[in-house]
Structure 1
């Protein structure tokens, strides 16, 4: 094998291409053997060659050439003039009385600023623009589906009419297509602008990284920090979909068949927010694919103190972080535990003194709990309890925080004959989900607590113990599927769900208290596997940012941390 072309050969001298490299010219960036050092120096005597041991390469600073004195290097920096200067410049009248700094000191400060700029571009701005692009693309897909649903509704309505109105149906569908294409073009233009910014940011990052990695100081001077150009995020495009309003059969078909409301596109300056560097379950738009373990394993078990004479049981668990969990049971206290130490860190007593029904952690890290008897939803901030929701004639049960920071609350009517899910922004009601397309209730009425969570694909998932099902609707409140268990069940008992949670893979995990296991289904309701791990009456569930599962065991009053994904 030719030693000069062997993939495992050592580095060779750039001049003779035979001898092993021992030296390095920091001026010319050339690898040399000891024999070729002299030859290299005399090859261009106009340069001040800095030859060092190869291990110390790039250790010699390459000062910029002076623009006024071409044979001199700039080792100083004139602060008032904001330019590098050589010793001749310092002695000249041009800089008389000026303050000078060592150029290396100035460059170190500039390097820090550039590195901070690079960090902001890499860790905050670039990922934010990627997320925005992903959001716009998802919205475009959603727009396609919603406009498709709109066209389908018009078509079904048109089937009840005579053939004479077919032209009118086609005309309205054409209007839908025009509106859809107009809004898609608006979003595409928005996406193109965002992608261009992403490309520019990536180019800027590459330039900065090259400048930081080199020892040519002039390249550092050529870098102009630009993160400020991208801190002001683009205006968010807000789309308004038209609505189809059907009429009644009448002689004047054009007037009574129905009409589309106009669509619109607006720009919201505050529509997007800068991505934070803090990791969270929704920190990435495309999480890495993780496979289920062949055998889930219990990592640790945490004993929970419940002080209740009549209801000494553990109901709920909610992850505050990867190191801490909130729990609640049959008493009136919510407790924060260290996962690694298993020790109690903090206790919060409910404002009313009642037992909390369901607990959750908001996107901002605050504890939220429902009080069914007091008819309130409360948030704990800095150990102070704030009442945020008190509905009239309805009792809150399950609660969760969404990726947008809203709250989803399961509500039961005072007579427990009706159930609905309400979306709140603060204390403002934004959305109510109660019936399917046929006007039938989506959720059963029950005295038991119901649990709710938002999946990564923005579906709302409810553990409906009354109907013994997991009910999943999309963000618009349309039913996607019902999961009623898998046969055969571990203990041959019917599915009886309690706690519910999701993970980074959009899996839905539900506690089954009668079969002493946790069901894992995918985002479309297909059963994947059971988790056993010696569980006894599993009740509350949650997952952390690393996809570890936490299970609150009802009678044993303990929380198990379970690893089930690679």
Structure 2
């Protein structure tokens, strides 16, 4: 209808579920509808005005409830749409294999009897022994298949229990319980192998060597074939586009994580970057050479020993250079609205013209080589994605409510799950959107002050960001949860500005004063 043509719509089953009603203990006329981050407790709107919560940051409890509900609904859906049907299919496969094994073994026994009949007077005893042997083999194979069948019976029982648990969680009406449950993870489907049926090898009749003449039964020396477990992606291919998009948005990176956070921070080395007045932004190429820039347009490259290799004069900028997958560098010129590329053989070429938009930050994706550029124009700001060939692919500027996402995206990076993480100097926040450009969350620091600067991510999905207000480096998980102050003045950090992580998972921290770049090992 004309009156609703511009309204935001979505599937009814994907709606935000209503927050269960709970009366505030302190204000009986109010319902609890706000979550205090500092106190980690749900409160009502009137509680926000109390001195106990003065200066605290709050979240909409309804948003938290909806997020949790969607998560549980998604896991419940996976059980119903993937884990249970796939497990039942595997069990059916086992039953069919058992039937086939019986047919094969019966056929072998028949062949042995036919062959033995012509030598009956000579091989009755031998034939009886070998037939008994086939029964033993059959029992062993069927016992193995029965064990596999029990494995899936147990797993299906476990899935039904998980399904009941999720249904129970989805029906939770007590908000406090909502925050006590950790997200349950579904155990993977057990793997089993298909049986390798014995093969009967016929023998030749010989009175003097009856045992050798009669055929024998053995299992071929063949590696058992693993049963094929259809991937969840293949199953969800048949979903409706809206359902598939929702499921994919909830999936996390399945990258095998062989690293973890170290219990201690180790300083690896330190550079006194030549040719710059301070180290506002740092990049490291594949060869381990360091690029550093200051606040007046000096961009320099050093070798592993800190010796100056190149010095390029650019326009003043923030996070305006990035190492590329091929060992080169890309940097922006905000005065000319141009992005330049330096090839591995040190050739500088004009790469992208940004027209009326001023490029102030850039990042080369480690996932696919795409180029992410933070831009501003008058009072507007956006993030634009280009292919590694320089073709414009995507523009990210507003959230789904039409609100501006950025004001000054002065440093930008990409996380392992495809999220675009931007350090916005004017918003005093880290702004994170997914790879489709949908707003995920902001991070506004710990406490009253937060001034973002350099930002980077690592292979585990952590987000690392400089806070010039507290003179520290914050470590976040990929969902914006604060983990720790990774670096602070206690480690000798005074004014952290630039951050990057190299291919060896070393963290480079550039400082304003003194103008050093310090390398740390924080993963093990």
- CA shift at 1:467, angstroms? 0.9
Of 341, 359, 375, which aligns to 1:411? 375
Aligned to 1:299: 268
Q: Is 2:345 aligned against 1:375?
A: no
Q: Is the 8 Å Cα contact of residues 424 and 452 (structure 2) preserved in structure 1?
A: yes
* CA distance in 2 between partners of 1:347 and 1:302 (Å): 16
* CA distance in 2 between partners of 1:386 and 1:242 (Å): 45
* CA distance in 2 between partners of 1:524 and 1:430 (Å): 25
Of 318, 322, 326, which aligns to 1:360? 322
Q: Is the 8 Å Cα contact of residues 298 and 561 (structure 1) preserved in structure 2?
A: yes
TM-score when scaled to structure 1? 0.47
Q: Is the 8 Å Cα contact of residues 269 and 518 (structure 2) preserved in structure 1?
A: yes
Q: Is 2:481 aligned against 1:526?
A: yes
Aligned to 2:500: 542
* CA distance in 2 between partners of 1:517 and 1:458 (Å): 26
Q: Is 2:440 aligned against 1:480?
A: yes
* CA distance in 2 between partners of 1:347 and 1:500 (Å): 24
Q: Is the 8 Å Cα contact of residues 275 and 300 (structure 2) preserved in structure 1?
A: no
| SS of the residue 2:280 aligns to | strand
* CA distance in 2 between partners of 1:504 and 1:410 (Å): 23
Aligned to 2:350: 387
* CA distance in 1 between partners of 2:237 and 2:281 (Å): 39
* CA distance in 1 between partners of 2:321 and 2:300 (Å): 11
- CA shift at 1:486, angstroms? 1.3
**Structure 1 residues 524 and 554, CA gap change in structure 2 (3 angstroms):** same
Aligned to 1:267: none
- CA shift at 1:497, angstroms? 0.7
Q: Is the 8 Å Cα contact of residues 356 and 369 (structure 1) preserved in structure 2?
A: no
Aligned to 2:312: 349
Aligned to 1:338: 303
Q: Is the 8 Å Cα contact of residues 317 and 360 (structure 2) preserved in structure 1?
A: no
Q: Is the 8 Å Cα contact of residues 288 and 502 (structure 2) preserved in structure 1?
A: no
- Give CA deviations for 1:444-482 in whole Å, capped at 9, x if unaligned: x24xx6111110111110011111111111111111111
* CA distance in 1 between partners of 2:340 and 2:263 (Å): 38
- CA shift at 1:305, angstroms? 1.9
TM-score when scaled to structure 2? 0.51
Aligned to 2:457: 502
* CA distance in 1 between partners of 2:445 and 2:14 (Å): 36
Q: Is the 8 Å Cα contact of residues 348 and 383 (structure 1) preserved in structure 2?
A: no
| SS of the residue 2:11 aligns to | helix
- CA shift at 1:150, angstroms? 5.4
Greater shift, 466-475 or 284-293, is seen at 284-293
* CA distance in 2 between partners of 1:384 and 1:153 (Å): 55
**Structure 1 residues 152 and 367, CA gap change in structure 2 (3 angstroms):** farther
- CA shift at 1:333, angstroms? 4.0
- Give CA deviations for 1:51-87 in whole Å, capped at 9, x if unaligned: xxxxxxxxxxxxxxxxxxxxxxxxxxxxxxxxxxxxx
- CA shift at 1:343, angstroms? 2.2
Aligned to 2:512: 554
**Structure 1 residues 545 and 374, CA gap change in structure 2 (3 angstroms):** same
**Structure 1 residues 322 and 506, CA gap change in structure 2 (3 angstroms):** farther
- CA shift at 1:377, angstroms? 1.2
* CA distance in 2 between partners of 1:441 and 1:524 (Å): 21
Aligned to 1:459: 419
- Give CA deviations for 1:82-123 in whole Å, capped at 9, x if unaligned: xxxxxxxxxxxxxxxxxxxxxxxxxxxxxxxxxxxxxxxxxx
Aligned to 1:151: 11
> Structure 2: where are the runs of 5+ without partners?
1-8, 17-76, 86-191, 193-233, 246-252
Q: How does 1:122-521 map to 2 (within 5 A)?
A: 151-152=11-12, 285-294=255-264, 296-306=265-275, 312-321=277-286, 323-339=288-304, 341-344=305-308, 346-350=309-313, 353-355=314-316, 357=318, 358-381=320-343, 382-402=345-365, 403-413=367-377, 415=378, 417-425=379-387, 426-443=389-406, 445-446=407-408, 450-487=410-447, 494-521=449-476
**Structure 1 residues 551 and 544, CA gap change in structure 2 (3 angstroms):** same
- CA shift at 1:293, angstroms? 2.3
Q: Is the 8 Å Cα contact of residues 425 and 452 (structure 2) preserved in structure 1?
A: yes
Q: Is the 8 Å Cα contact of residues 333 and 347 (structure 1) preserved in structure 2?
A: no
**Structure 1 residues 241 and 404, CA gap change in structure 2 (3 angstroms):** farther
* CA distance in 2 between partners of 1:438 and 1:241 (Å): 27
**Structure 1 residues 553 and 526, CA gap change in structure 2 (3 angstroms):** same
* CA distance in 2 between partners of 1:291 and 1:150 (Å): 40
* CA distance in 1 between partners of 2:375 and 2:493 (Å): 29
Q: Is the 8 Å Cα contact of residues 259 and 523 (structure 2) preserved in structure 1?
A: no
Q: Is the 8 Å Cα contact of residues 322 and 545 (structure 1) preserved in structure 2?
A: no
- Give CA deviations for 1:285-304 in whole Å, capped at 9, x if unaligned: 3121412324x232221001
**Structure 1 residues 541 and 242, CA gap change in structure 2 (3 angstroms):** same
| SS of the residue 1:363 aligns to | coil
Greater shift, 417-426 or 320-329, is seen at 320-329
